[in-house]
Amino acid sequence: MSGHRSPGLSALVRLRDEETWVKLALESITWFDEIVIVLNCCTDRTPEIVEDFRAQFPSKVIVADYPYTIHPMGPGHDDCPTDNPHSSAALYNFTQDLSTKTHVCKIDGDMVCMDWLGGRVRQLMEDGHHRIKMFGTDIVGDDLTHIGNHPLCPTNGVYQVNGTRYEQGQMTQSLRGAAQPTTEIHDCFLHFKWARNPFEAATVQWPENWQEIPHFQRIAERRIPVEPYTGEYPASVRALM
pLDDT digits (tens, 9 = 90+) for 97-106: 999 999 999 9
Mean pLDDT of 135-160: 94
Residue 200's pLDDT band (cuts 50, 70, 90): confident
Q: Is the pLDDT of residue 231 over 80?
A: yes
Residue 175 located in a structural domain:
yes
Mean pLDDT of 140-155: 92
Residue 1 located in a structural domain:
no
| % of the chain surpassing 70 pLDDT | 99
DSSP 30: T
The parent domain of residue 43 ranges over 6-238
Mean pLDDT of 14-30: 97
Find, among 45, 187, 179, the residue nearest to 111 by Cα. Answer: 187
Mean pLDDT of 6-29: 97
Residue 125 located in a structural domain:
yes
The total number of structural domains that make up the chain: 1
CATH number at residue 24: 3.90.550
Mean pLDDT of 99-125: 98
Q: Is the pLDDT of residue 41 over 80?
A: yes
Residue 49 located in a structural domain:
yes
77 Cβ partners below 8 Å, 6+ apart? 71, 88, 168, 169, 170, 171, 172, 173
> What is the pairing mode between strands 6-15 and 34-39?
parallel
Q: What is the pLDDT of residue 3?
A: 59
pTM: 0.94
Q: pLDDT tens, 56-80?
A: 999 999 999 999 999 999 999 999 9
Q: Which residues of 110-132 are buried (b: 16+ CB within 10 A; e: fewer)?
A: bbbbbeebbeebeebbeeebbbb
Residue 92 located in a structural domain:
yes
Q: Is the pLDDT of residue 1 over 60?
A: no
> What is the pairing mode between strands 61-65 and 34-39?
parallel
Alpha carbon distance 31, 127 (integer Å) = 18
Q: Is the pLDDT of residue 196 over 90?
A: no
Residue 94 located in a structural domain:
yes
Q: Yes or no: say if 104 and 158 are a contact pair by the CB < 8 Å rule.
A: yes
Residue 166 located in a structural domain:
yes
Average pLDDT score, the chain: 94
Residue 2's pLDDT band (cuts 50, 70, 90): very low
Top mean-pLDDT range of 31-40, 143-152, 204-213: 31-40
